[in-house]
Amino acid sequence: MEVETASSQSVQSPAPLHAKRTGLLDALASPRRALPLITIVGALLFLLNLGGYPLYTKGEPREAVTVFDIVNGGGVILPMRAGVELPSKPLLMHWLAAIISVLAGGVGEWTVRLPSALCAIAAMLACYLYVRRLFEARAALFAALILATTFQFVQAGRGARVDMTLSFFMAIAFFEFLAIAEGLSNRTTLLYLALALAILTKGPIGAALPILVAIIWVAIYRRWQLIPRLHLTRGAAIVALLGGGWYLAAILAGGGAFIRKQILAENLYRLIPHGAGHAAHAHPFYYEEGALLAGLMPWTPVALIVMLQFIRAKRGAANSSRPPAVEEQSPKSVCEANDKVGRSDSRLGYLVVWTLTVLLFYNLPQSKRGVYLLALYPAISALVAIFLCDAIAAGDPMPRLTALLSRAYGGILVATGLGAALSLATLFLWPGRTNSVLRMFGILVPELTGRIAAQAHAWPLATIALPIAIAAAGAYLLRTRPRIESLITTLLVGQVGVVLAINLVIEPAIAQTLALKQFAADTRKFAAGSAVGYFGNLDYGFAFYNGRDLQLTTPLDASGPALVVSPEDDWRLVPPRLSVKYRVILRSNPTDLDGSGRMLLVQRIAAPGVPETPPSPRIHP
């Protein structure tokens, strides 16, 4: 007995330090601390400076034009984008943005981006609450923060696109099904509402993927007894009434044009190749795997380790939740412990099925984008968090790997912070040299450096503090004893710093350089209330900032408006016998960093004896 006691004491000697570390994590992971922490991090990442820069990509203004038309009397069921084009997606995100815009007094950059930002924060909170209930609190906290700091999630959470709204409702559906299956929830109505709202965000795919994952998981784990508890008839009625109701109304409003665009082109033809047209975003079969590795950064190396660990052995055999001395427990306790391990394995299995099903599904269509995989990010974030928490509970069983990752991430953060500081110094002291460096990377817009400098002046404290904080986080990882919790915490701090630098300085500078907001304002001033025609491929940025529906025309239409806006590349295709009848009076800034993508405002030259409209003295072509 004395030998046993001494042995026990020698093994448990480092326990106080380990208990102190895990105790701190437990305190942070409690709901009263974790929920405010997650909300604050979400606000920093997704709300700060949300409306501080214009819409400049193709996707954001395309959705914003639809919101503008809803708010300005273009209809609620099927508004026409810029008055000339059917929307390509269902309208839930647009309705949310329209409500916000009405309450705010008008449509603006932040009102059309806010639904994505709010859904991103809500997805973080939902991830924490569900993972905490299904697994444990520490893993829940890590899962929410890891989810929020992946590159793809950050990008989608600040954009006026439908993807983050879709991801939120699908995450609720995925998690709620597992909670019902494990006896933790009876809210089948919430499950079916989430599926219906996902359909209203981006179409049938919003319900198809959660249903497919559920079917595969039920078949693998033989949980057939779950089916009667799901109340499938009532659920189908809810989904059909809410999701299908809008589709029926839109078909009645849009007829065959709506069916061809939204039902066939946006859904069926993306899965089944159609000879009549070319699929947008066409990529090879393996494209999504590369997109996932890039989108998960900076957590990709850790996620790969989790995958390898899962392949090597089932977590249940070595799970810390299994009691260490089962033979000394009562038969009832042994059964309860085994049931708990089995439930844990089935829950982990559900996360794996969720991840792999979504990934493999999106490999099938010709049309592929990295943001399509957003639906699996909560699952893979939870898997990574659970693995890390198990490693912490086991006293870090991989010290060499932890040390390697700590040194690698530390070096990257130090290089990032010092590189940012050096770049800022070069920008202010030798702007010409900065332009030379940018040209080496194909960035041929010299105005960009001035915009970056202006943004740095607008956020002086952040401009100075963020590079220092990022480098200091890296230095801490390099100098401190490698521990998993230190690695996670420091990487989170460093990533938040990088994202803030991008959101406050870099992206606003790019947006202000490339957006057509000023060109649209100059066009309105020059037109002074007269009609302005539009020729060529639709530029959604101009359509949004134009502030009214477009009037399509061609240079052949002699009775059309005397003023015409056109993409420069499209105007070059106009035959000289027609283009000679117009003169260029305004030329926009480039809309691409290589200096291309300019817009033109041209004016028809008056016939002999008819005076021309003089240009406004405030506008300089």
pLDDT band at 273 (very low <50, low <70, confident <90, very high): low
Q: Indicate whether 564 pLDDT > 90.
A: yes
Quote the CA–CA distance of 76 and 278 in Å, as a whole number: 30
Percent of the chain with pLDDT over 70: 85
Q: For position 319, what pLDDT does the model report?
A: 47
Mean pLDDT of 19-48: 88
Q: How far apart are CA 505 and CA 498, in angstroms?
A: 11
Last residue of a domain, one of 245, 277, 309: 277
- Residue 270 pLDDT > 70, yes or no? no
* Residue 540 in this model has a pLDDT that exceeds 60: yes
**Global pTM?**
0.88
Query: Where do we find the tokens 């000679």?
Result: 580
Q: Are residues 121 and 215 in the same domain?
A: yes
Q: Tell me whether residue 39 is in a domain.
A: yes
Q: Is the pLDDT of residue 534 over 70?
A: yes
Who contacts 377 (Cβ-Cβ below 8 Å, separation ≥6)? 147, 150, 152, 153, 167, 295, 296
Is the pLDDT confidence value at 321 over 50?
Answer: no
The span from the first CA to the last CA of the chain, in angstroms, equals 94
Task: Give the pLDDT mean for 149-158.
Answer: 96
Q: How confident is the model at residue 220 (pLDDT cuts 50, 70, 90)?
A: very high
Q: How many domains does the chain have?
A: 3
Among 55, 56, 50, 110, which Cα is nearest to 445's? 56
Range 230-247 average pLDDT:
93
Is the model's pLDDT at 14 over the cut of 80? no
Q: 499 is written with which tokens?
A: 């994202």
> Do 508 and 545 reside in the same domain of the chain?
no
Query: Do 436 and 487 lie in a common domain?
Result: yes
Which DSSP category does 72 fall into?
T
Alpha carbon separation from 119 to 46, 104, 167, 423 (Å, rounded): 10, 19, 8, 34
Whether residue 491 sits in one domain with residue 521: no
What single-letter DSSP state applies at residue 371? G
Determine, yes or no, domain membership for 362: no
Average pLDDT over residues 70-85: 90
Query: How many Cβ atoms sit within 10 Å of the Cβ of residue 414?
Result: 20
Residue 316 scores a pLDDT above 70: no
Does 268 lie in the same domain as 183?
yes
Sheet holding 582-587, edge to edge: 551-552, 532-534, 563-567, 599-604, 582-587
Does 211 map to a domain?
yes
- Average pLDDT, stretch 60-82? 93
Task: Give the residue from 248, 277, 306 where a domain finishes.
Answer: 277
Assess whether 548 and 506 both reside in one domain: no
Select from 129, 130, 121, 127 the least CA-distant residue to 165.
121
Give per-residue pLDDT as tens, 278-301. 556 666 777 888 999 999 999 999
**Tens-place pLDDT, residues 104-126:** 999 999 999 999 999 999 999 99
* CATH number of residue 576's parent domain: 3.40.190
pLDDT of residue 618: 37
Residues 111 and 207 placed together within one structural domain of the fold: yes
CA distances (Å), 113 to each of 55, 122, 123, 163, in order? 10, 15, 16, 12
Average pLDDT over residues 392-397: 76
- The whole-chain average pLDDT of the chain stands at 86
Give the Cα separation of 141 and 129 in Å (integer). 9
**Does residue 11 fall inside a structural domain?**
no
With the CA atoms of 565, 570, 572 and 578 taken in that order, what torsion angle do they form, in degrees rounded to the nearest 10?
-60
Q: H or E stretch including 179? A: helix 163-181
H/E segment holding residue 533: strand 532-534
- Say whether both 95 and 149 belong to one domain: yes
Q: Which helix H or strand E contains 585, and what residues bound it?
A: strand 582-587
Residue 158 counted as domain residue: yes
CA–CA distance from 322 to each of 131, 285, 317, 335, 340 (Å)?
A: 19, 41, 8, 11, 8
Mean pLDDT of 229-258: 91
82 & 178 share domain: yes
Please tell me whether residues 568 and 422 are part of one structural domain.
Answer: no
Give the closest residue to 478 by CA, choosing from 402, 405, 406.
Answer: 406
230 within some domain = yes
Do residues 289 and 359 lie in contact, with contact meaning Cβ atoms separated by under 8 Å? yes
Taking CA atoms, 411 is separated from 25, 185, 389, 493, in Å, by 26, 45, 24, 15
Pairing of β 532-534 and β 563-567: parallel
pLDDT at 329 over 50: no
567 phi, psi to nearest 5 deg: -60, 140
Tell me if 264 is assigned to some domain. Answer: yes
* Chain-centre distance for alpha carbon 397: 34
Domain assignment present for 79: yes
Q: Is the pLDDT of residue 98 over 50?
A: yes
Rounded Cα distance between 172 and 198, Å, is: 10
In the numeric block, the tokens 């939204």 are attached to 262
- Whether 71 shows a pLDDT value over 50: the answer reads yes
CA distance 592 to 539: 13
Same domain, 459 and 503: yes
Domain limits for position 482? 399-514
| Section 240-259 average pLDDT | 89
Least confident of 413-422, 501-510, 542-551: 542-551
Report the b/e string of 450-464 with b at 16+ CB within 10 A. Answer: ebbbebbeebeebbe
Domain boundary among 480, 514, 548: 514
Among residues 537, 540, 607, the alpha carbon closest in space to that of 568 is found at 537
Contacts 24+ apart (CB under 8 A), 554-563: 555/579, 555/581, 555/582, 557/533, 560/533, 561/530, 561/531, 561/532, 561/533, 562/530, 562/603, 562/604, 562/613, 563/523, 563/526, 563/527, 563/530, 563/531, 563/532, 563/533, 563/601, 563/602, 563/603, 563/604
| 233 in the same domain as 104 | yes
Inter-helix orientation angle 188-202/232-239, to 10°: 30
Alpha-helical runs (H) found in 459-566: 460-479, 484-501, 507-514, 517-527, 540-546
Buried b vs exposed e over 202-227: b needs ≥16 C-beta within 10 Å?
Answer: bbbbbbebbeebbeebbeebeeeebe
Decide: 501 and 459 in contact? Cβ < 8 Å.
no
